[in-house]
Amino acid sequence: MKINSIYSSIPDNISEELIEELVTSKSVRIERIVSEGHASPKNFWYDQPENEWVLVLEGSAGILLEGKNDPVILQKGDYLNIPAHKKHRIKWTEKSRKTIWLAIFYK
């Protein structure tokens, strides 16, 4: 077995959000996401068939849930469970440093 670090292999400059699948099975998918000033495109909403549990390991971000006026602010150590088909979008991520997420998708 190989030991890896969630903080390794992150490029200095990322023009697009970096999404890396770490583990996948029939019922679970775990991703590392690295953002730096990234946000969802205007009028785009995620509407996923699975539940999503997200944890911010570094940085911060704002997630807007459908039907809410203000985004949920996640900072280092904060996590949020988003039920399947709960529409949401990334309103913002920090521009001055990288936001590193751990996202677990499950049925």
DSSP state of 27: S
The whole-number average pLDDT for the span 53-59 is: 98
- Identity (one letter) of the amino acid at 53? W
List the domain boundaries for the chain.
Answer: 18-106
pTM: 0.92
**Backbone conformation region of residue 31, classed left if phi is above 0, alpha if psi is from -120 to 50, else beta:** beta
Q: Tell me the chain's radius of gyration from C-alpha atoms.
A: 14
Whether residue 89 contacts residue 63, with contact meaning beta carbons closer than 8 Å, is answered with: yes
Confidence bin at 2 (pLDDT 50/70/90): confident
User: Which stretches does DSSP call E strand in the chain?
Assistant: 18-24, 28-35, 51-58, 60-65, 72-75, 79-82, 88-93, 99-106
Q: Which tens digits make up the pLDDT trace of 65-88?
A: 999 999 999 999 999 999 999 999
For the structural domain made of 18-106, what CATH number should be given?
A: 2.60.120.10
CA distance 64 to 92: 9
Amino acid 1: pLDDT: 87
**Backbone conformation region of residue 49, classed left if phi is above 0, alpha if psi is from -120 to 50, else beta:** alpha
Q: Which tens digits make up the pLDDT trace of 10-46?
A: 999 899 999 999 999 999 999 999 999 999 999 999 9
Amino acid 68: pLDDT: 96
